[in-house]
């Protein structure tokens, strides 16, 4: 009887040890599936790394937000609003907008080619003006050099070149201009909003003396019914930037305009999220959000 008890005890002990070993081995095996973990046997030091490659972004930056080469806002796109002509530009104060170019490869030595100009800064901006007009497509090239990871990519020479094309269109032809059927967050029924260029009425230059433009104008963007009250925003403040597909505006709003938010057009779908009040109707500062499709 004692002999049987001893055997049973040994069997139980061995079973417990085996179970512990199985659990421990399972934990170790699971841990070592993570190739990004240096403590695992299957750790790959090249995981997630890529050869030296040039990346850039192009976007509108406002003169008030682009000081001493410091990027505060960057409205990225490939289509931008062209100046009206040499007499009245969409890039005049207080809505002076620069086209910014930024290298997105950290730690790289950069060399840009923009027209006949060579630039070596990683971030720079230019104003495009010409009395001959600037409609059409333009190309910018970025050449970079960076110390390659030869352990992972022994054939990498540490150099790469990227070329991108961007386009200038009249404001009336920007893709974001048009009529949209949208649903405001919290509403049951859809509404119609519009984004249009606007111009000063002839002989009038006050903020409220405007008309919707049917041809290219030196006004900016008009947002119609963006509070679902049949009203129109004609001044989005000094920190507004807009491109062919995006509108961004910051905190420095004037009059009864939106004070902070963004509007984006993507494959015919418009999304908007912004904060606003209405001084004239005593409506408190609140958040507006909607999504909808372009109907014309």
Report yes or no: 69 and 52 within 8 Å, Cβ to Cβ: no
In the sheet with 123-126, reading across from the earlier edge strand, the strands are 75-76, 56-62, 97-103, 123-126
DSSP 82: P
Fold of 56-169: Immunoglobulin-like (2.60.40)
For 192-212, the pLDDT digits (tens) are: 999 999 887 776 655 567 888
Helix (H, G, I), strand (E, B) or coil at 24: helix
pTM: 0.78
- Give the C-alpha separation, 174 to 137, whole Å: 14
Q: What is the mean pLDDT of the chain?
A: 80
Dig out the tokens for 237 from the structure: 């403040």
- Give the C-alpha separation, 54 to 170, whole Å: 31
Nearest to 75 by CA among 98, 48, 49: 98
Dig out the tokens for 221 from the structure: 């963007």
Per-residue pLDDT at 48: 83
For 260-284, the pLDDT digits (tens) are: 889 999 999 999 999 887 666 667 7
Nearest to 76 by CA among 296, 292, 262: 262
Helices (H), the chain: 2-31
Distances 143 to 59, 108, 150, 167 between C-alpha atoms, Å = 19, 9, 20, 21
pLDDT exceeds 60 at position 92? no
Per-residue pLDDT at 6: 52
User: Where do the domains of the chain lie?
Assistant: 1-48, 56-169, 173-294
Classify strands 283-294 and 269-278 as parallel, antiparallel or unpaired.
Answer: antiparallel
Mean of the pLDDT values across residues 221-231? 89
Nearest to 254 by CA among 274, 272, 276, 283: 276
Helix (H, G, I), strand (E, B) or coil at 54: coil
In this structure, the number of other CB atoms found within 10 A of the CB of residue 157 comes to 11
* Out of 2-16, 38-52, 133-147, 269-283, least confident range: 2-16
Distances 227 to 166, 179, 216, 278 between C-alpha atoms, Å = 33, 15, 26, 9
Classify strands 136-145 and 109-114 as parallel, antiparallel or unpaired.
Answer: antiparallel
User: Which pLDDT band, with edges at 50, 70 and 90, does 95 fall under?
Assistant: very low
* Out of 28-42, 143-157, 180-194, 220-234, least confident range: 28-42
């Amino acid at each position: 009887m004692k002999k049987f008890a001893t055997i049973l005890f040994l069997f139980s002990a061995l079973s417990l040890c085996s179970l512990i070993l199985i659990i421990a081995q399972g934990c170790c095996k699971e841990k070592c599936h993570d190739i990004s973990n240096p403590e695992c046997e299957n750790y790959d030091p090249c995981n997630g790394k890529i050869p030296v490659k040039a990346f850039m972004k192009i976007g509108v930056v406002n003169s008030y937000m682009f000081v001493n080469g410091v990027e505060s806002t960057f409205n990225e796109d490939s289509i931008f609003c062209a100046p009206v002509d040499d007499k009245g530009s969409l890039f005049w104060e207080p809505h002076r907008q620069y086209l910014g170019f930024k290298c997105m490869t950290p730690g790289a030595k950069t060399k840009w080619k923009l027209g006949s100009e060579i630039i070596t800064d990683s971030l720079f901006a230019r104003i495009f003006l010409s009395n001959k007009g600037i409609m059409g497509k333009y190309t910018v090239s970025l050449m970079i050099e960076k110390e390659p990871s030869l352990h992972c990519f022994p054939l990498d020479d540490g150099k790469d070149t990227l070329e991108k094309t961007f386009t200038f269109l009249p404001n009336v032809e920007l893709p974001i201009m048009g009529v949209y059927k949208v649903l405001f967050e919290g509403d049951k029924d859809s509404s119609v909003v519009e984004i249009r260029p606007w111009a000063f009425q002839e002989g009038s230059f006050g903020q409220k003396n405007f008309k919707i433009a049917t041809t290219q104008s030196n006004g900016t963007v008009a947002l119609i019914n963006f509070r679902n009250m049949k009203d129109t925003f004609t001044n989005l403040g000094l920190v507004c930037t807009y491109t062919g597909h995006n509108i961004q505006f910051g905190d420095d709003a004037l009059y009864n305009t939106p004070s902070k938010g963004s509007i984006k057009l993507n494959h015919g779908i418009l999304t908007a999220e912004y904060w606003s009040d209405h001084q004239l109707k005593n409506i408190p500062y609140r958040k507006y959000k909607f999504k909808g499709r372009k109907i014309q």
